[in-house]
Structure 1
Amino acid sequence: MDLGTIEDIVVARERSELPLGDEHTAVIAGGTWLLSEKQDHLRRLVDITTLGWAPLTESDDGLDIAATCTIEQLSRASFDRDWPATTLFHRCATALLASFKIWKVATVGGNVCLALPAGAMVSLTTALDGVALVWSPDGTDYRIPVTDLVTGPHENALKAGEVVRSIRLPAHALMSRTAFRKNALSPLGRSASVVIGRIDPGNQFVLSVTASTTRPFVLRFPEPPTAEVLESALSDSIPNSAWYDDPHGAPDWREHISRKSAREILEELTC
Structure 2
Amino acid sequence: MDLNTIHAVAHPATREQLPVWTAGDAWLAGGTWLFSEPQAHLRRLIDLTDLKWPALTVSETGLSIAATCTVAQLDALACPPEWTAAPLINQCCRAFLASFKIWKTATVGGNICMSLPAGPMISLTAALDGVCTIWQAGGGERKIAVAEFVTGDQRNVLASGDLLRQIDIPLAALKRRSAFRQISLTPVGRSAALLIGSVSSDGGMALTVTASTARPIQLVFAGIPAAKGLREAILQRIPDSLYHNDFHGKPMWRKAMTLRLAEEIRGELQALPGVLP
CA distance in 1, matches of 2:222, 2:58: 27
Q: Deviations over 1:220-243 (max 9, x none)?
A: 112111111111110111111000
Secondary structure at the aligned position of 1:84 is classed as coil
Q: 1:156-195 to 2 correspondence within 5 Å?
A: 156-195=156-195
Q: Which amino acid aligns with 1:35?
A: F
Partner of residue 213, structure 2: 213
Partner of residue 247, structure 1: 247
Kept in 2, the 8 Å contact 1:19–1:25? The answer is no
Secondary structure at the aligned position of 2:268 is classed as helix
Partner of residue 122, structure 2: 122
Gaps of 5+ in 2: 272-277
**1:20 to 1:159, Cα distance in 2 relative to 1, 3 A:** farther
**1:81 to 1:53, Cα distance in 2 relative to 1, 3 A:** farther
Kept in 2, the 8 Å contact 1:26–1:44? The answer is yes
Deviation at 1:58, TM superposition (A): 1.3
Secondary structure at the aligned position of 1:21 is classed as coil
Partner of residue 235, structure 2: 235
CA distance in 1, matches of 2:18, 2:162: 9
CA distance in 1, matches of 2:20, 2:160: 7
CA distance in 2, matches of 1:118, 1:43: 29
CA distance in 2, matches of 1:146, 1:18: 24
Kept in 2, the 8 Å contact 1:151–1:157? The answer is yes
CA distance in 1, matches of 2:208, 2:80: 27
Q: Which amino acid aligns with 1:67?
A: A
Secondary structure at the aligned position of 1:90 is classed as helix
Partner of residue 86, structure 1: 86
CA distance in 1, matches of 2:16, 2:237: 41
Gaps of 5+ in 1: none
Q: 1:4-15 to 2 correspondence within 5 Å?
A: 4-15=4-15
Deviation at 1:66, TM superposition (A): 0.4
Q: 1:29-108 to 2 correspondence within 5 Å?
A: 29-80=29-80, 82-108=82-108
Deviation at 1:148, TM superposition (A): 1.0
CA distance in 2, matches of 1:141, 1:242: 30
Secondary structure at the aligned position of 1:167 is classed as strand
Partner of residue 274, structure 2: none
CA distance in 1, matches of 2:264, 2:80: 31
TM-score (norm 2): 0.96
CA distance in 1, matches of 2:262, 2:164: 30
Kept in 2, the 8 Å contact 1:30–1:107? The answer is yes
Partner of residue 256, structure 1: 256
CA distance in 2, matches of 1:202, 1:171: 15
Please tell me the root mean square deviation across aligned C-alpha atoms, in Å. Answer: 1.0
Q: Which amino acid aligns with 2:141?
A: D
Partner of residue 149, structure 1: 149
Secondary structure at the aligned position of 1:236 is classed as helix
TM-score (norm 1): 0.98
CA distance in 2, matches of 1:22, 1:88: 38
CA distance in 1, matches of 2:155, 2:200: 30
Secondary structure at the aligned position of 1:166 is classed as strand
Q: Which amino acid aligns with 1:223?
A: G
Deviation at 1:19, TM superposition (A): 4.5
CA distance in 2, matches of 1:20, 1:65: 25
Query: After alignment, is 195-204 or 14-23 more displaced?
Result: 14-23
CA distance in 2, matches of 1:167, 1:34: 21
Secondary structure at the aligned position of 1:133 is classed as strand
Partner of residue 113, structure 2: 113
Secondary structure at the aligned position of 1:129 is classed as coil
Secondary structure at the aligned position of 1:132 is classed as strand
CA distance in 2, matches of 1:156, 1:21: 18
Secondary structure at the aligned position of 1:85 is classed as coil
Kept in 2, the 8 Å contact 1:85–1:175? The answer is yes
